[in-house]
Structure 1
Amino acid sequence: MSLVEESLKYFKDKSVVIVTDVETDGSIEEIAGVLLGGSGDCLLVKDEGDNLPTVINVSHIAWIYEDEEQV
């Protein structure tokens, strides 16, 4: 199973934190929000507020976990 399929299996419609391999100013980037879906090589995550969802290429994901503080 692909990372997209596994992520959707366990985390779809749940609050997650996605830790990426993208580094900015010496810090690893994290994206938090609700996992809405995904296909191909991308996941779609919606953060709080009126912002549009973020599309994340799975080649930049180090790991993903459920955000237990938001449960």
Structure 2
Amino acid sequence: DEVSWEQLPVRVGEEAGENAREKQIFIRADGRAPYQAVARVMARLSATGFTKLNLITDTAEAAGA
């Protein structure tokens, strides 16, 4: 679901549940997504207290393009 930039940490916290900022958060990015966009999301979450961020990239479609 689409979420505003301001609501991003709130929404991630809601989805992660209790003690969200202490849990591992997995960010899945399309292999075609610009690195800058993914880095901005990770930086936003980090700046709002999420410290266990993991990046998962899906390269299957990008490789076939």
In which range does the TM-score fall when normalised by the shorter chain?
under 0.3
Counting helix residues as a fraction of each chain, which structure ranks higher?
A: 2
Which one scores higher on RCO, CA 8 angstroms, separation ≥ 6? Answer: 2
- Tell me the TM-score normalised to structure 1 length: 0.25
Per the normalisation by structure 2, the TM-score is 0.26
